[in-house]
A and B are shown apart, each in its own frame.
Chain A
Amino acid sequence: MVTLASPRQGPKRKHQRLVLIILALVATLAGVLLAMSALRDQAAYFYTPAEAMAAKVEPGKAVRLGGMVEGGSLKRAADGLTVTFRLTDGKASVPASFSGITPDLFKENSGAVAEGAFDADGIFRATNILAKHDERYMPREMEGIKYDPKTHKVEETKS
């Protein structure tokens, strides 16, 4: 393939291509840096109750807390909308509360992931609750976890 020199080809033309390449690189880099800094602030870490206790999650920081709803702990307040319960992983248990319509399969002795933050009293204020919403669907953090309601022991069958 013969490449003829274009009459317009000159040093300035190369210059423009270079500018475009640099712009693309700068934009990509800026995007990545922006993403990294935002991830540090905004990514919500997943904890089990024991991990949350050990990590001493600061109040107000958005996290996800996953565990089993402890047998006998699920109570509904008089307004009919607020529920209080304890989430357990067998090693520790955390008091939690939630206002709103809970998922259909949110019940005692089954798994749930609560999104929200701890308040100053150490109660987990959930803003959202994920539970299985069909027999096949499970929050991915809860996969392969088995719970014995008698002993409150939780086994993780998956590494």
Chain B
Amino acid sequence: MIAETGLAALWLAAMLAGAQLLFAWLAAARGQAIAERLIRPIAVAQGLLTCGAMALLIVLFLRSDMSVYLVAANSHSMKPFIYKFAGAWGNHEGSMLLWVAVMSASGAAVALFERGLDKRTHIATLGAQAAISLGFYAFLLLASNPFARLNPPAVDGQGLNPLLQDPGLAFHPPTLYLGYVGLSVAFSFAVGALLTREVNARFAKAVRPWVLAAWILLTFGITAGSYWAYYELGWGGWWFWDPVENASLMPWLAATALLHSASVLAARDALRAWTVMLAVIAFAMSMIGTFLVRSGILTSVHAFAVDPTRGTFILALLGLYIGGALALFALRVHTVNEGARFDPVSREAMLVLNNLLLCVILALVLIGTLYPLLTEMMGVRVSVGPPYFNTIIGPITIALMGVLVVGPLLRWRKDNGKTLLRRTTPSMILAVLALGAVVALSAGSIGWLPALSFAAAAAVAFASVLPLWKRNLLRTPLFTYGMVVAHLGCAVSLAGMASESAFSQEKLAAARPGDRFEIAGYGVTFDRVLPVAGPNWTAMEATLTVSRNGRVIGTARPQSRFFADPPTPTNESVQMTRLGGQLYLVLGEQLEDGRWQLRIWWKPFVTLIWAGGGLIGLGGALALLGRIRREKRHKAPAKPAKAGYA
């Protein structure tokens, strides 16, 4: 019954989405008052229904109901509780249901909480959101029904990919999806504003919290995903430029650009068409990401199933929505008046530069990700990896950091080149000092990219806190703190990346019990290897004693695991976090002569990478809080749009 109820809830929600679209049209185009009153309750009901369906699917997984195909194919009764729970979205159908649930829940949130938009734009926005949801309901119900029954029921399930059996699974996909789908809200706002010809500062102020929220979640999702890959794969790397990673990075880049341009629009009423365009691009990147991951066109741990019809379906949705939005943009862009003017030396100009650089990075990532797919159609198999991405994206990122040093120190509209020079000189001096220091420290062996990254990180770290200089810290608005913290996070993360790539040390050995290794001043003694067993795996576990300056500081127990369902060996690496970095230990396989392969890394300040990511997300959260608080304080009706910007 549970599965049938879930399916019925989904169909009902799909019908409500249809009704929502119809009523939005009736209300916006015909001015029908009943439709106008009904549209918000409908959006809320639709959100509740899909979240209910998601909850029912989780119940099915928790109960290990093997008469449901999805559960039988992806779960196992012996699996620990948390993986039964999170396993509900560790597969194609479940993750699409999660996507739809998040999408309609954010639609419900827009219906409930959005107060800043004028009524007609609000209704048009809800209509656009319903239109997007409809497509995804169709995809879910017609091409990937999560509630399909299996007759006769399976005796037991086939299990979950062991690489996914990690607490990260409970956190990483939902966060990323919230971010991905949150961008659909920005898209709907943009479409709504284009439809009612209300692209102005009020629109930007209304859309900004939603973009911020999506962006915060994307930031946390990507950061967590990177750390997950780092410790789970046991390869010592934290970013592989894997297409699936790129699929999450691209919406983030677009959302970062959108966030900054929406700020210009909200504060200065400039960059109107630009902001709308970025909102469309950001959601297009979410959909491209979904297409890449869900179509099975890439073979990866993330691609759960290969099914060409699904890929075609998502591609059709992508073409429909993005093509439709671009066509609407082309039709309406002449009604969007140009906003306020600004000088080449002004904060707006720097934010334009920020947007341009982010878009170039986005284009480079997109091209690098799609290129192997394009060449394969022509029969040439090519892989595009870190050499491509690092060599071209690294320098542009450093240029972007240069803009980041300058931008927040400039005034809106017009500033003076000389005062700018005075304000940025300390940062520049600091950058040169940092450059000299790392070159000296590495005895000149450091690559130019990590060296410049250190310099940029030093400059950004200093410049990012300058906006607080000589200000009353208690009266500084929370969103200014948000900006400061997020920019500081960029510096912290960049420093971690540079340090990891420039100063990591590696030791590879075949070890016998009693052997001792030295790495970066740490002594690692290989004590023994013993078999251990977990709930659904067995493993060989090594005991390694780690010491520093003759004092034992801890024991590491990396494992070489073997999962029974499905039969898969994995590596459980161990990370020992110290003040100056991380010791990363991996146990390999046993050799014929009884020795064990052992791989040890010392990664100085590697944790800064994720700490920086966390700071960036935290900065976003502070900014969001600040915006919401200010909105509450100024409960007075928003200023009507100025004449001339109809």
Chain A residues with a Cβ under 8 A of chain B: 1-9, 12-14, 16-17, 20, 23-24, 27-28, 30-32, 34-36, 38-39, 42-46, 62, 64, 76, 79-81, 99-102, 104-105, 115, 133-141, 143
Total contacts A-B at CB 8 Å: 148
A136/B356 contact (C-beta < 8 A), A3-B646, A38-B392 known: no
For A100, give its contact among B359, B593, B599 (CB under 8 Å). B599
Q: Is the CB of A34 within 8 A of B364?
A: yes
B residues less than 8 Å from A34 (CB atoms): 360, 364, 392
B538 beta carbon closer than 8 Å to chain A:
no
A residues less than 8 Å from B597 (CB atoms): 80-81, 101
A31/B570 contact (C-beta < 8 A), A39-B371, A141-B381 known: no
For B387, give its contact among A30, A42, A79, A100 (CB under 8 Å). A42
Q: Is the CB of A100 within 8 A of B508?
A: yes
B383 beta carbon closer than 8 Å to chain A:
yes
Report the nearest A residue to B590, measured CB to CB: A80
Q: Is the CB of B568 within 8 A of A43?
A: no
A residues less than 8 Å from B586 (CB atoms): 101
A residues less than 8 Å from B593 (CB atoms): 80
Q: Is the CB of A140 within 8 A of B298?
A: yes
B residues less than 8 Å from A104 (CB atoms): 569-571, 589
Q: Is the CB of A6 within 8 A of B645?
A: yes
Q: Is the CB of A31 within 8 A of B360?
A: yes
Interface stretch of the complex, out of B81-89, B335-343, B402-410: B335-343
List the 7 closest pairs (A to B, CB-CB), nearest first. Answer: A80-B510, A46-B381, A104-B569, A101-B588, A42-B388, A31-B363, A6-B644
Chain B 500-513 per-residue mask, 1 if CB under 8 angstroms from chain A, else 0: 00000000111000
Complex Cα distance, B534 from A115, in Å, reads 34
- Name the distance in Å between B412's Cβ and chain A's nearest Cβ: 15
Q: Is the CB of B591 within 8 A of A105?
A: no
11 further contact pairs, Cβ within 8 A, besides A31-B359, A100-B599, A134-B163: A3-B337, A12-B341, A20-B271, A23-B352, A31-B367, A34-B360, A101-B597, A104-B570, A115-B383, A136-B566, A140-B298
Q: Is the CB of B360 within 8 A of A28?
A: yes
- Name the distance in Å between A116's Cβ and chain B's nearest Cβ: 12
- Name the distance in Å between B107's Cβ and chain A's nearest Cβ: 27
27 contacts between A and B (CB under 8 A): A4-B644, A6-B645, A8-B341, A12-B341, A13-B338, A17-B338, A23-B356, A28-B359, A31-B367, A34-B360, A34-B392, A36-B367, A43-B372, A43-B384, A43-B388, A44-B383, A45-B382, A80-B591, A80-B593, A81-B510, A102-B588, A104-B589, A133-B568, A134-B161, A137-B299, A137-B300, A138-B299
B153 beta carbon closer than 8 Å to chain A:
no
A residues less than 8 Å from B372 (CB atoms): 43
Q: Is the CB of A46 within 8 A of B388?
A: no
Within 8 A of A (CB), among B143-174: 161-163
Report the nearest A residue to B360, measured CB to CB: A31
Q: Is the CB of A35 within 8 A of B381?
A: no
Q: Is the CB of B359 within 8 A of A44?
A: no
For A39, give its contact among B357, B384, B566 (CB under 8 Å). B384
- Name the distance in Å between A137's Cβ and chain B's nearest Cβ: 6
For B359, give its contact among A27, A38, A39 (CB under 8 Å). A27
Complex Cα distance, B360 from A34, in Å, reads 10
Among B364, B391, B570, the most chain A Cβ lie within 10 Å of the Cβ of B364
Chain B residues with a Cβ under 8 A of chain A: 161-163, 197, 271, 274, 298-301, 335, 337-338, 340-342, 352, 356-357, 359-360, 363-364, 367-368, 371-372, 380-385, 387-388, 391-392, 508-510, 566-571, 586, 588-589, 591-593, 595, 597, 599, 643-646
- Name the distance in Å between B586's Cβ and chain A's nearest Cβ: 7
A79/B646 contact (C-beta < 8 A), A1-B335, A46-B382, A136-B566 known: no
Complex Cα distance, B235 from A104, in Å, reads 13
A residues less than 8 Å from B352 (CB atoms): 20, 23
A residues less than 8 Å from B357 (CB atoms): 27
Report the nearest B residue to A42, measured CB to CB: B388
Complex Cα distance, B591 from A34, in Å, reads 46
A43/B382 contact (C-beta < 8 A), A28-B359, A76-B591, A101-B589 known: yes
Q: Is the CB of B508 within 8 A of A45?
A: no
A residues less than 8 Å from B274 (CB atoms): 20, 24
B residues less than 8 Å from A5 (CB atoms): 644
For A143, give its contact among B299, B367, B592 (CB under 8 Å). B299
Among A14, A34, A76, the most chain B Cβ lie within 10 Å of the Cβ of A34
Q: Is the CB of B161 within 8 A of A136?
A: yes
Complex Cα distance, B162 from A7, in Å, reads 65
For B341, give its contact among A13, A79, A115 (CB under 8 Å). A13
Complex Cα distance, B356 from A140, in Å, reads 34
Q: Is the CB of B568 within 8 A of A135?
A: yes
A35/B363 contact (C-beta < 8 A), A81-B597, A104-B589 known: yes
Q: Is the CB of A16 within 8 A of B341?
A: yes
Report the nearest A residue to B510, measured CB to CB: A80
Report the nearest B residue to A44, measured CB to CB: B383
A residues less than 8 Å from B589 (CB atoms): 101-102, 104
- Name the distance in Å between B379's Cβ and chain A's nearest Cβ: 10
For B356, give its contact among A3, A27, A79, A101 (CB under 8 Å). A27
- Name the distance in Å between B385's Cβ and chain A's nearest Cβ: 6
Complex Cα distance, B395 from A34, in Å, reads 12
- Name the distance in Å between A144's Cβ and chain B's nearest Cβ: 11
Q: Is the CB of A35 within 8 A of B368?
A: yes
For A45, give its contact among B271, B338, B381 (CB under 8 Å). B381
- Name the distance in Å between A42's Cβ and chain B's nearest Cβ: 4
- Name the distance in Å between A87's Cβ and chain B's nearest Cβ: 15
Complex Cα distance, B389 from A43, in Å, reads 10
Among B299, B357, B391, B593, the most chain A Cβ lie within 10 Å of the Cβ of B299
Complex Cα distance, B371 from A45, in Å, reads 12
Q: Is the CB of B646 within 8 A of A2?
A: yes
B residues less than 8 Å from A133 (CB atoms): 163, 568, 570
A residues less than 8 Å from B568 (CB atoms): 133-135
Complex Cα distance, B645 from A139, in Å, reads 55
Report the nearest A residue to B270, measured CB to CB: A16
Report the nearest A residue to B368, measured CB to CB: A35
Report the nearest B residue to A4, measured CB to CB: B644
Q: Is the CB of A38 within 8 A of B391?
A: yes
Q: Is the CB of B299 within 8 A of A32?
A: no
Q: Is the CB of B391 within 8 A of A42?
A: yes
Complex Cα distance, B571 from A16, in Å, reads 57
Complex Cα distance, B641 from A1, in Å, reads 14
A28/B363 contact (C-beta < 8 A), A1-B646, A4-B643, A46-B383 known: yes
For A32, give its contact among B163, B342, B367, B385 (CB under 8 Å). B367
Q: Is the CB of A35 within 8 A of B364?
A: yes
Complex Cα distance, B384 from A44, in Å, reads 6
